[in-house]
Amino acid sequence: MSERRRSAVALSSRAHAFSVEALIGTNKKRKLRDWEDKGLDLSMESLSPSGQLGEDEDPTPCLDLHPDSEQSTGSDTEVLAERTSCSFGSHSDLTSGGSGPQPPPPSSMEEIQVELQCADLWKRFHDIGTEMIITKAGRRMFPAMRVKITGLDPHQQYYIAMDIVPVDNKRYRYVYHSSKWMVAGNADSPVPPRVYIHPDSLASGDTWMRQVVSFDKLKLTNNELDDQGHIILHSMHKYQPRVHVIRKDFSSDLSPTKPVPAGDGVKTFSFPETVFTTVTAYQNQQITRLKIDRNPFAKGFRDSGRNSSWLDSCLH
Amino acid sequence: MSERRRSAVALSSRAHAFSVEALIGTNKKRKLRDWEDKGLDLSMESLSPSGQLGEDEDPTPCLDLHPDSEQSTGSDTEVLAERTSCSFGSHSDLTSGGSGPQPPPPSSMEEIQVELQCADLWKRFHDIGTEMIITKAGRRMFPAMRVKITGLDPHQQYYIAMDIVPVDNKRYRYVYHSSKWMVAGNADSPVPPRVYIHPDSLASGDTWMRQVVSFDKLKLTNNELDDQGHIILHSMHKYQPRVHVIRKDFSSDLSPTKPVPAGDGVKTFSFPETVFTTVTAYQNQQITRLKIDRNPFAKGFRDSGRNSSWLDSCLH
DNA sequence: CAATTACCACCTAGGTGCTAACTT
DNA sequence: AAGTTAGCACCTAGGTGGTAATTG
């Protein structure tokens, strides 16, 4: 084995004809393309001798390469406009669905669609009752929000941002013997608003649409005095993540510490299966198990000893 | 000890009055500020309850926190215009040193200064004869180029870029018994030009001047077919890194695969003590020793066993 | 023979849930 | 009693030079 180094090498076995995708880094750490759309219209494609694209594969689907994955039981992505999505705020209007050729200046937001990645994984958590740990230092979400965006104007510049809003005005507690979340009173007083502006931001529609837009670096905290720019939430409350597409010319009020502005240049999307309850320690053991099973960073807690021992014994 | 976690925590002991610097991340991984200057004039300072700055300390001086450091023997930084620097190309003109108040539109490049960080460390390598390893997959430089920039127009947008140019037209070989580099013939044919555009690029002069601009993610390669955007060099040749300050309105020809454009909107800086010879394996063992001694990632090769064993025995 | 490469052990850096201690 | 926190072992991810094998 020990293919770790190999897969990071320029001419690895995965490199088909110097895939531009490998260069651009659909979702990898490479920031090379970062500056590209930020005021300049430069192309990295000159780096590719073949100029060939290989956009079909997503190098890190759900941060979840678990072999037992049941993703084959259905589509692992989900188009917003088709089934699960609804829009919050007053920005989005899917009601005017038709593509009437009446282009509002500078470019229409109406045809924009946002598709949740790893929808199957989200649904498995949702069926149990998704929990997200929040800590003083900030904790990533698992699963992370990952979306594909279509219908953008390729030459228009956009910010993509995410925030998390309360689902209701209640505080919850987990009742162990019934394995259910119960209302435990009214919500705590509101926390300072925070918006996570995607780090690739200010990029062209073309760039956004080429890649899976991942929010895996976003962190949640319960520290109301947080100075790291993390999203502040109350523990034991229910929240809904939202994704915002913001046209550049409409971003004058955009700030990580102010609510996302509303209006024609902003379109907001959310996915009901991404609702979660904040905790400081997991309540439902099924959630713990699924997290350990799917989050690569928790691999140390997988008791592959127990799970695979009977399988191992079959193979001997 | 185990302060590792602690230093990443919001309210760690290092956080003096919620230092904005900690939030902005002078040189840390935090990309929060990334989008800030890219077309928007947003301020993160609202995240700081005190609004207080603590700009004096540089969290990762030289990626070198070695206690034996002799940096106290002199200034560890070096202002370009004062001693060591010279400019390549035809862009820079330090000859017009005076600050004559005749502002050329849109903003003067004449007062821009670039100061090399970790100059002492660079000099120690330079005195021996700096070597940089190049590999097919790409190798970081150590030391990395790190600079402070002054004299920018705070409200002007700039790209900061780096490239590496041949010092001469020769190929070298290392003669072990004399511990010297000798000319071994003429240089190999030129390699495809590559420019590393700093990932924070397209930011305001204000933002650039606030931080130490570090090129530690830049990688060198000997793979002429590299598709990762690394800087391509020939082994056994002598090179000089250069830093470019490029006004936004002058960046129409800026590309990672084209030479940096010349003209009024571009100013180029270089530091003689950063010249190095490319190798695929270190030639001079003094270089190896200094690298191991100073690069944290090579800590595994520090034979503290041998060095400190006699010291240990003194303590027992 | 000199130069390059692949693989390795050993680091840094940081993301996991567990656990015990602490807080309210 | 319920909720939170700090420290921990165990991971992922990736940057070091050493070493032996390979290349030219």
Distance (Å) from the alpha carbon of A20 to chain B's nearest alpha carbon: 8
Facing residue for A23 by CB, picked from B32, B227, B252: B227
Note the strand C nucleotides within 7 A of protein beta carbons. 2-20
Residues of chain B found within 8 Å of residue A195, distances taken between Cβ atoms: none
- pLDDT of B303 reads 81
Residues of chain A found within 8 Å of residue B256, distances taken between Cβ atoms: 32, 42, 44, 47
B46 vs A257: CB contact, 8 Å cut-off?
yes
* CA atoms within 13 Å, Cβ hemisphere of A50: 13
Distance (Å) from the alpha carbon of A42 to chain B's nearest alpha carbon: 6
- pLDDT of A303 reads 81
- pLDDT of B31 reads 44
Rounded to whole angstroms, the distance from the CA of residue A10 to the C1' of nucleotide D16 is: 19
- pLDDT of B3 reads 32
- pLDDT of A107 reads 73
Facing residue for B136 by CB, picked from A11, A23, A42: A11
Residues of chain B found within 8 Å of residue A20, distances taken between Cβ atoms: 227
B292 touches strand D (CB under 7 A): yes
Residues of chain A found within 8 Å of residue B44, distances taken between Cβ atoms: 229, 256-257
Q: What is the DSSP letter of B253?
A: T
Give the residue whose CA sits closest to C13 at C1'. Answer: B4
The tens digit of pLDDT for each residue in B140-190 reads 999 999 999 999 999 999 999 999 999 999 999 999 999 999 999 999 999
CATH 2.60.40.820 fits A109-283, yes or no: yes
A90 touches strand D (CB under 7 A): no
| Averaged pLDDT score across all residues of chain B | 76
The tens digit of pLDDT for each residue in B11-56 reads 333 333 333 333 333 333 344 444 556 655 444 444 544 333 333 3
| One-letter amino acid for residue A231 of the chain | I
pLDDT at B202 over 50: yes
d(CA A200, CA A211): 11
Please name the helix (run of DSSP H) or strand (run of DSSP E) that holds residue B161, with its range, or none: strand B157-166
B221 versus B82: the higher-pLDDT residue is B221
Nearest nucleotide (CA of B278 to C1'): C3
A280 touches strand D (CB under 7 A): yes
Record the tokens describing residue A65, joined without a space: 């390469």
How much is the pTM? 0.78
The tens digit of pLDDT for each residue in B204-240 reads 999 999 999 999 999 999 999 999 999 999 999 999 9
Distance (Å) from the alpha carbon of A119 to chain B's nearest alpha carbon: 27
Nearest to B144 by CA among B196, B88, B91: B196
Record the tokens describing residue A307, joined without a space: 């799970």
Record the tokens describing residue B182, joined without a space: 């000798």
The tens digit of pLDDT for each residue in B96-131 reads 334 445 545 567 899 999 999 999 999 999 999 999
Burial of B69 (0-12, 13-18, 19+ CB in 10 A): middle
- pLDDT of A133 reads 98
Per-residue model confidence as pLDDT tens for chain A (316 residues): 333 333 332 333 333 333 333 333 333 334 444 455 665 544 444 454 433 333 334 546 676 544 433 333 445 565 543 333 443 333 333 333 344 455 455 678 999 999 999 999 999 999 999 999 999 999 999 999 999 999 999 999 999 999 999 999 999 999 999 999 999 999 999 999 999 999 999 899 999 999 999 999 999 999 999 999 999 999 999 999 999 999 999 988 899 999 999 999 999 999 999 999 999 999 999 999 999 999 999 999 998 644 443 433 333 3
d(CA A18, CA A16): 5
d(CA B132, CA B138): 11
A236 touches strand D (CB under 7 A): yes
d(CA A219, CA A139): 5
- pLDDT of B265 reads 95
For chain B, give every residue range classified as CATH 2.60.40.820.
109-283
